[in-house]
């Protein structure tokens, strides 16, 4: 298990809990390392954990019946994912894969449900999280079919920097063009071209080890018309 102090560092929502609730949450959480490309869970698994990214980047996606890989979202450090499956006690409807070497916090289902039943602060967080996630997936359905490469990169960055889902990111993210391509479903070359175009528009700055966002609002709605 992890400590309550460590939970507070990797889980922004821990600040919404009482001290006793944080202790209970920490006791029911472990941390594991996953190498780049490792599956944290497969579609169809009954995984009895809620997942949080302590360090690294993971992605949530699936493979269609025609064999096309579809990414629903990338999840950077401080992001938590999978609450819907834990709440409904159902099999996973997607794969979760490490985009790079990552450390992932795994909260036991029993602990998650205890917080759900007993913590007002945790429930407030869940309402915000689920509402924001719904908006993300609705937007993803549209842009995966309709947007060009530049807009797909812009929207993906908009979600990776989402302050509600990933409050620990700020305005700079350590991410490579290859990793961003894995999240967008594009080649590194297409991502590079798109990033340069978005930089020329003044929406972001390409830096040696990552991307700095200048206009998050515009990136988030890029290509909407």
What pLDDT was estimated at residue 197?
97
List 74's β-bridge partners, or say none: 59
| pTM, entire model | 0.85
Tens digit of each residue's pLDDT (9 = 90 or more) over 131-184:
988 877 766 665 555 678 999 899 999 989 999 889 888 899 999 999 999 888
Predicted pLDDT of residue 144: 55
pLDDT in tens, 71-121: 888 999 999 999 988 998 888 888 999 999 999 999 999 999 999 999 999
Distance CA 3, CA 163 (A): 25
pLDDT digits (tens, 9 = 90+) for 188-205: 999 999 999 999 999 999
Helix, strand, coil percent values for the chain (each to nearest 5) = 45, 25, 30
The whole-angstrom separation of Cα 43 and Cα 69 is 13
Residue 127 has pLDDT above 90, yes or no: yes
Indicate if the pLDDT at residue 65 is higher than 80.
no
pLDDT of residue 146: 60
Per residue in 21-62, pLDDT (tens digit) is: 999 999 999 999 999 999 999 998 887 899 999 999 999 988
Complete domains list, the chain, with CATH: 4-136 (2.60.120.10), 148-220 (1.10.10.10)
Q: What is the mean pLDDT of residues 119-130?
A: 95
What long-range pairs does 80-84 form, CB within 8 A, spacing at least 24?
80/11, 80/13, 80/50, 80/51, 80/52, 80/53, 80/129, 81/51, 81/52, 82/41, 82/47, 82/49, 82/50, 82/51, 83/50, 83/112, 83/126, 83/129, 83/130, 84/130, 84/133
């Amino acid at each position: 298990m992890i400590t309550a102090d460590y939970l507070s560092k990797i889980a922004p929502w821990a600040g919404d809990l009482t001290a006793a609730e944080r202790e209970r949450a920490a006791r029911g959480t472990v941390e594991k390392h996953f190498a780049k490309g490792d599956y944290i869970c497969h579609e169809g698994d009954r995984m009895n954990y809620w997942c949080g990214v302590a360090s690294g980047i993971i992605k949530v996606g699936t493979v269609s019946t025609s064999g096309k890989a579809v990414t629903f979202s990338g999840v950077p450090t401080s992001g938590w994912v999978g609450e819907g499956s834990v709440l409904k006690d159902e099999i996973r409807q997607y794969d979760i894969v490490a985009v790079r070497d990552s450390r992932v916090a795994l909260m036991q289902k029993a602990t998650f449900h205890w917080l759900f039943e007993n913590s007002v602060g945790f429930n407030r967080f869940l309402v915000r999280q689920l509402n924001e996630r719904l908006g993300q997936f609705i937007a993803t359905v549209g842009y995966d079919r309709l947007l060009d490469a530049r807009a797909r990169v812009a929207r993906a960055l908009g979600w990776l920097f989402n302050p509600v889902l990933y409050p620990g990111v700020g305005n700079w993210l350590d991410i490579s063009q290859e990793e961003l391509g894995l999240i967008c479903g594009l080649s590194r070359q297409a991502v590079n071209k798109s990033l340069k175009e978005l930089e020329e528009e003044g929406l972001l700055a390409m830096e040696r080890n990552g991307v700095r966002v200048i206009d998050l609002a515009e990136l988030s709605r890029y290509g909407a018309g």
